[in-house]
């Protein structure tokens, strides 16, 4: 899947809430935003329902 870069400006309060939620889900803020958008699009019938994309993996520190 091709990824596109997109600059997004967020209110500090919204970003802080997203950051906490992402940490709870062990995701980056970017991955959390993409997950939320994908879910909203599927709920609205604007994106075909299907299996979610694989979660990104993080390199483990030794």
Question: What is the tally of structural domains in the chain?
Answer: 1
Number of Cβ within 10 Å of residue 61's Cβ equals 4
pLDDT reported for residue 1: 75
- Would you say residue 11 lies in a domain? no
- Would you say residue 7 lies in a domain? no
pLDDT band at 3 (very low <50, low <70, confident <90, very high): confident
pLDDT reported for residue 54: 62
Supply the range of the domain harboring residue 33.
19-43
- Would you say residue 30 lies in a domain? yes
pLDDT reported for residue 58: 63
pLDDT reported for residue 61: 61
pLDDT reported for residue 38: 92
Read off the pLDDT of residues 7-54 as tens digits, 9 standing for 90 and up: 999 999 999 999 999 999 999 999 999 999 999 999 999 998 766 666
What is the distance of C-alpha 37 from the center of its chain?
7
- Would you say residue 55 lies in a domain? no
């Amino acid at each position: 899947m091709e990824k596109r870069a997109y600059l997004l400006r967020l209110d500090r309060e919204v970003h802080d809430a997203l950051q906490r939620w992402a940490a709870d889900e062990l995701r980056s803020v970017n991955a959390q935003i993409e997950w939320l958008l994908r879910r909203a699009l599927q709920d609205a019938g604007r994106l075909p329902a299907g299996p979610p994309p694989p979660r990104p993996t993080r390199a483990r520190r030794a």
